[in-house]
Amino acid sequence: MKGGRKNKISKISIFVFGILLVSSFVLATLTGVTLNTPATGENISGNYTFNATIAGTGADNVTFYHNESGSWVEFCVNATAGTEFICINDTSSLPDGTYYFNATAQNDTDLVSIVSADVIVDNTVPTITIASPTAGWKMGNITIYENSTDATTNISNSTIYFWFGNSTGNYSITLFETCPYVNASTGFNCSVSFNTTLLSDGNYTLWVNASDTMASPNSDNESLEDIGVDNTKPSVLLSLSSQDKTSIVVSSSCTDSGSGVASCALSSSSGTASGSTISGLVCGTAYTITVSSTDNVGNTHSTSASMSTTGCGTGSSSSSTSSSTSGNATTTSAKTHTFTSLSSAGNYSIGNFNLNAGLKGIDIAILNNKTYQDVKFTIESYDSKPSNLSLAKAGKVYNYIQIETTNLDKNFGKAIFTLNVNKSWVSSNSLDKEKISLFWFDENSNKWESLSTAFSNEDENFYYYTAETTHFSYFSIGSLESSVGENGEDPEEEVTATNPQGIQNGIPWILILVIAGVIIAVGLAWYFLSKKK
């Protein structure tokens, strides 16, 4: 009985063991593997996560392979048993190209594989070429043209950026149009119109950035240095330097702080311009003088002024500038001018003075019936009182002028002086431009007399005045405003006004009225006394 029970138990144990043994083989069956990443047609680069999952009871390990040229190369093994296997691998060591990737799973009894097709490995940044603009100065609208390509994948036209940068920061450019394909596989040509007036004048670097279409894009920058922006016109200055009967000499300049001056040209409404001189003109005539300038990118600017030749008197002149001294005074300008004849029938002028002389011109009018022959004028200008002059002009003095004549008497007529006074002298002495006058030194009374002087016009550097005189001797240009003398003392001399024609002042009108009143009173008294008698 006992023996039969033991046999029965043994049979049951063998049956259960057999079931467990069969079950173990069934449970250990490996039915498939799926390569989740990368997928067929995917682009990958850099550190990439490869992922495979198992169908069935599980695997002991998964081995990953790649194949570019026909042979499989193992690059990663995950030996942690399970149903999901991950491998992170740096693909930057692989040459760019199209690959197959394989995941092979195995356990003790089974081995299964899966292959992905046409996976692109791309670890190379795009190539960027800036075709336009070239380095140099620019103005107005420019075209920015770049070609970006990628040897393996395409360029994303949504990730092409342009900007200008310098020490003050960056200015980004918004693309106003889609960049067209170079071709379907390599990249884009991108053309952008940009108005440089959006930038301040100065030097910039143009930057272009392009990215490929990878999930983690490869991108690169390309730069073009030394782009200069210049949208400012040149600066042009023009003023009269001197003139005579047939020519005008100007002082002019053209400057440009950006691209530089390409041209600076002098022209006139008539005559011939050469250097700073307009020649071939007619005496006593006004002309429009123009200086025009263009910079190296095409900005242009011009300025014009009306200038006149001197009157039509006959004669010749010569002038010089020297540093000779008269006592402590320095002669800033010396000039002689000789007229072959002077008469009431003509108009006579002396011009072409040095700018430091304070004189721009002298017009002479003969008001008697005489004719003067070989009349010589000697004109000298001093920066301070000449030693031969007995009394300094009180107050602020611009300069002193001495005019001597030969073969001309004192009753010749009159002369009109055109004066030029430097603006910097007026402002530095805090003077009113309307209170500048020409003074004449009367050697008989040993006094300075103010001559009739009128402000006429101004330019960038000078104020201009006209003054009339009937005498030639010492003159000074200075302020009518009251001033203390040298060393802070009151002036020793008295400045009086003079009639331009030299007519002496008569009896004051108040005195005449008083005398007339006395005479009338005496007459009335005599009349009434006579009637009483």
337 and 446 in a common domain: yes
Residue 477 lies in a domain: yes
Residue 17 lies in a domain: no
More confident residue, 468 or 41: 468
Report whether pLDDT(429) > 60. yes
489 and 364 in a common domain: yes
The enclosing domain of 388 has a CATH number of 2.60.220
342 and 424 in a common domain: yes
pLDDT averaged over every residue in the chain:
81
Q: Check whether the bond before 133 is cis (ω within 30° of 0).
A: yes
Report whether pLDDT(84) > 70. yes
Per-residue pLDDT at 329: 60
What contacts 431, CB < 8 A, 6 or more positions away?
Answer: 396, 479, 481
Confidence of residue 87 (pLDDT cuts 50, 70, 90): very high
Least confident of 111-115, 354-358, 439-443: 354-358
60 and 117 in a common domain: yes
367 and 487 in a common domain: yes
What integer is the mean pLDDT of 409-430?
A: 92
Report whether pLDDT(265) > 90. yes
Report whether pLDDT(255) > 50. yes
199 and 214 in a common domain: yes
How many angstroms separate the CA atoms of 154 and 188, rounded? 9
Least confident of 45-59, 130-144, 168-182, 301-315: 168-182
Burial level of 110, CB count in 10 A (0-12/13-18/19+)? Answer: middle
Residue 530 lies in a domain: no
Residue 323 lies in a domain: yes
What contacts 529, CB < 8 A, 6 or more positions away?
Answer: none
The enclosing domain of 196 has a CATH number of 2.60.40
* Whether 438 contacts 469, CB under 8 Å: yes
Please give the residue range of the domain that contains residue 116: 27-121
**Residue entry with tokens 């003159």:** 475
Report whether pLDDT(217) > 90. no
In the sheet that holds 261-268, the strands lie side by side as 261-268, 286-295, 300-308
How many angstroms separate the CA atoms of 358 and 421, rounded? 6
178 and 49 in a common domain: no
How many angstroms separate the CA atoms of 77 and 83, rounded? 14
Looking at 229, 250, 284, the residue that finishes a domain is 229
222 and 334 in a common domain: no
Residue 293 lies in a domain: yes
Residue 67 lies in a domain: yes
Least confident of 289-298, 308-317, 412-421: 308-317
Report whether pLDDT(99) > 70. yes
Residue 462 lies in a domain: yes
Q: What is the DSSP string of 374-406?
A: EEEEEEEEESS--TT-SSPPPS-EEEEEEEEEE
Residue 110 lies in a domain: yes
What is the number of other CB atoms lying within 10 angstroms of the CB of residue 455?
16
334 and 289 in a common domain: no
147 and 286 in a common domain: no
Q: What is the DSSP string of 294-320?
A: EETTS-EEEEEEEEE-------EEEEE
436 and 335 in a common domain: yes
176 and 216 in a common domain: yes
Least confident of 179-188, 306-315, 430-439: 179-188
Least confident of 18-22, 33-37, 158-162: 18-22
Report whether pLDDT(141) > 60. yes
Report whether pLDDT(499) > 50. no
The enclosing domain of 55 has a CATH number of 2.60.40.10
Total domains present in the chain: 4
Task: Name residue 180's amino acid.
Answer: P
Report whether pLDDT(198) > 50. yes
Report whether pLDDT(508) > 80. no
